[in-house]
Amino acid sequence: EGAPAPGSNPLSLEQAAAGSYAGARTFEELPLSKYSKAALKEAGYVNLTAIQRAALPHALAGRDILGAAKTGSGKTLCFLVPLVEKLYRQAWTRLDGLGALVLTPTRELAMQIFEELVKVGKRHDMSAGLLIGGKAVQEEATRVNAMNILVATPGRLLQHMDETPGFETHALQLLVLDEADRILDMGFAATLDAIIANLPTEGRQTLLFSATQTKSVRDLARLSLQQPEYLAVHSEA
């Protein structure tokens, strides 16, 4: 750490674009609700990782993001914290329907994200569900329509879009594409295109995270993001 050398500019252009929170080093310094701050503290999260320092100020300011950082660098909180804050700031209630959707390639990852969401969102009053298959689609369908937040694998989500009566995405505020490179590697490109074609674009923020930035990830970004911030962290988190 330490103060910048006299006369040097402590802010990069990228940091300046993120606004006054660009220099934040801790969750406490970010513009978060007291509910999120308390939950993060209870979960033992204090200092931001490198990708969190880069991504959170932009994501909290409502911008689209294409973020790349290797596995284990803390990408999950880069989208879960803005997700919870976005719905909280809009005073989203259980009656407002689906506000945020997180897509991830595998059931295992979806369950991990869901566990993290339960921790981060525990002091907020929001309903969240997992759509990962493994249960009868009918059984999931009865609960899907009541959820503010869904964490899903692409195949299962598209199945609900096609088959579940009353499944509505028109109010969606935030779309997260997590591990986008793996989603594409696993052959879900067409499924993703179909999902994205069904979602509203007006007023929707999109956060795309990936361990690598391949050509197919950039193609997906062109399809799903609007004037995104490109953030890549290569060093240790």
Residues that bind Mg ion (CB under 5 A): 75
For residue 57, the minimal CB distance to ligand ADP (Å) is: 14
Q: Does 52 bind ligand ADP (CB under 6 A)?
A: yes
Q: Does 10 bind ligand ADP (CB under 6 A)?
A: no
Rounded to an integer, what distance in angstroms lies between the CA atom of residue 108 and that of residue 113?
Answer: 9
Q: Does 56 bind ligand ADP (CB under 6 A)?
A: no
Residue 74 interacts with which of Mg ion, ligand ADP, none, CB < 5 to 8 Å by class: ligand ADP
Compare residues 56 and 144 and give the one whose CB is closer to Mg ion.
56
Residue 36 interacts with which of ligand ADP, Mg ion, none, CB < 5 to 8 Å by class: none
Q: Does 212 bind ligand ADP (CB under 6 A)?
A: no
Spell out, one character per residue from 77 to 106, where the chain touches ligand ADP: x when CB under 6 A holds, - when not.
Answer: x-----------------------------
Number of residues that bind ligand ADP (CB under 6 A): 13
Residue 72 interacts with which of ligand ADP, Mg ion, none, CB < 5 to 8 Å by class: ligand ADP
Give the residue from 144, 148, 146, 160 showing the smallest Cα distance to 195: 160
26 secondary structure, DSSP code: B
Q: Does 124 bind ligand ADP (CB under 6 A)?
A: no
Q: Classify residue 15 as exposed, middle or buried by CB count within 10 Å of its CB (0-12, 13-18, 19+).
A: middle
CA distances from 229 to 18, 36, 66, 69, 142 (A): 9, 24, 6, 14, 38
Query: What residues contact residue 163 under an 8 Å CB cut-off, 6+ apart?
Result: 137, 141
In terms of C-beta distances under 8 Å and separation of at least 24 residues, what long-range contacts does 213-217 make, across chains too? Answer: 213/66, 213/68, 213/181, 214/181, 214/184, 216/181, 216/184, 216/189, 217/66, 217/180, 217/181, 217/184
Q: Which two tokens stand for residue 180?
A: 């986008």
Q: Which stretch binds ligand ADP (CB under 6 A): 13-21, 58-66, 67-75, 214-222?
A: 67-75
For residue 193, the minimal CB distance to ligand ADP (Å) is: 24
Q: Does 210 bind ligand ADP (CB under 6 A)?
A: no
Q: Does 71 bind ligand ADP (CB under 6 A)?
A: yes
Compare residues 120 and 144 and give the one whose CB is closer to ligand ADP.
120
Q: Is the dihedral of CA 209, 61, 128, 150 positive or negative?
A: negative
Q: Does 76 bind ligand ADP (CB under 6 A)?
A: yes
For residue 73, the minimal CB distance to ligand ADP (Å) is: 4
Residues 125 and 87 sit within 8 Å (Cβ to Cβ): no
Interacting residues with ligand ADP (CB under 6 A):
45, 47-49, 52, 69, 71-77
